[in-house]
Structure 1
């Protein structure tokens, strides 16, 4: 589904991603783990081109784009890639002046140009899917953090993306509220949704992800089956990281 080849990204003199190559299988969940500053969120944002790589190649399904140092890719190529993805952010990013159902509808109406009645029906369907059918007319400020994140997941799913990208989806939540979000993501994983998530929460990664990629200092140190990587990591750096966070 997703192939990143030799991806490089720097901010000024700081090289955040150092020739990273990784494949994200279709119908599976892949977790990106690593210490703060390892490059996992930047790598995630390079998939939907919120960050434009300096070099390398990206393919999502039939869409392919090559990045050349000093050159910005064509706008239509960027848009075609972005249309393949849905994004769930760490801090929800809901519009405070819109109800839950309006937040989910927004992209369908303004970007996809759907009729409002069709967009409303789709939004209600997705709110039901994430367990918030009764909160359709609620304002974000009246919702718990877990509920807001579930609305954000419904919004990301609205245009039926090929892949769902999740950037630290539970890090802003306490354990109880995080469990609500983990349950929804787990249901999506069971349905065969292709997902790529950057997370510090190893329990989330171990529970949902079939594959895990460990990054450190802008490079992939180890990757593979999640159960194997967490139970018996091969690289000493992965061992230290997993042991520290699970101790």
Structure 2
């Protein structure tokens, strides 16, 4: 489904991603773990081209984009990639002037030009999927953090993306509210949704992810099946990081 090859990303003189390569199989859940500043969120944003790498190659679905220093990919190539991805942000990023239903409908009506009735039906179906059909007419300010994140997941799923990208989807929530979001993500995983997520949440990595990639200093130091990597990491740096997570 997704292949990243030798991705390089810098902000000024700061190299954030250094020759990063990663393969993500269709129907799998891959978790990106690592300390703050390791490049996890930037790597996610490179997949949907919210950030444009300076070098390397991205293949997603049937589309291939090569990155050349000083040259921006063609607009159509960027749009084709973005239409295949859905993004769930750490801090929800809901439109405050739209209801829960309006937030989910927005991209369908505005970007994809769906008829309002069709968009409404699809959006209500997704709100029901995340357990919030009864909150369709609520404003974001009337929703808990967990409910807002579930609306954000429904919104990301609305255009039926090939891959769902989740940037620390539970980190802004207290543990009780985070459980709601974990349950929704677990259900999506059981249904075969392809997901790539950056997270510090052990429930997501150990119990839901199929594969884990450990990033540190802009490099992927180790990848492997989630349970195997947590039980017996090969790299000492990975072992140290996982030990720190387990004691939190």
Q: TM-score, normalised by structure 1?
A: 0.99
> What CA distance in whole angstroms lies between the structure 2 residues aligned with 1:132 and 1:93?
17
> What CA distance in whole angstroms lies between the structure 2 residues aligned with 1:204 and 1:190?
13
Within a 5 Å distance, the mapping from 1:10-159 to structure 2 comes to 10-159=10-159
> What CA distance in whole angstroms lies between the structure 1 residues aligned with 2:56 and 2:107?
30
CA contact (8 A) 2:182 2:203 kept: no
Q: After TM superposition, give the deviation of residue 62 of structure 1 in Å.
A: 0.3
> What CA distance in whole angstroms lies between the structure 1 residues aligned with 2:164 and 2:31?
12
CA contact (8 A) 2:27 2:194 kept: yes
> What CA distance in whole angstroms lies between the structure 1 residues aligned with 2:203 and 2:220?
20
Q: After TM superposition, give the deviation of residue 203 of structure 1 in Å.
A: 2.5
Q: How far does the alpha carbon of each residue in 1:16-58 deviate from its partner, in whole angstroms, 9 at most, with x for none?
A: 0000000011101000000000001100100000000000000
Count of aligned pairs: 247
> What CA distance in whole angstroms lies between the structure 2 residues aligned with 1:133 and 1:70?
47
What secondary structure does 1:209 align onto? coil
Q: Which residue of 1 aligns with 2:211?
A: 211
Structure 1, unpaired ranges of 5+: none
> What CA distance in whole angstroms lies between the structure 2 residues aligned with 1:244 and 1:190?
29
Q: After TM superposition, give the deviation of residue 202 of structure 1 in Å.
A: 2.3
Q: After TM superposition, give the deviation of residue 61 of structure 1 in Å.
A: 1.0
> What CA distance in whole angstroms lies between the structure 1 residues aligned with 2:90 and 2:37?
16
What secondary structure does 2:15 align onto? strand
Q: Runs of 4 or more off by more than 2 Å in structure 1?
A: none
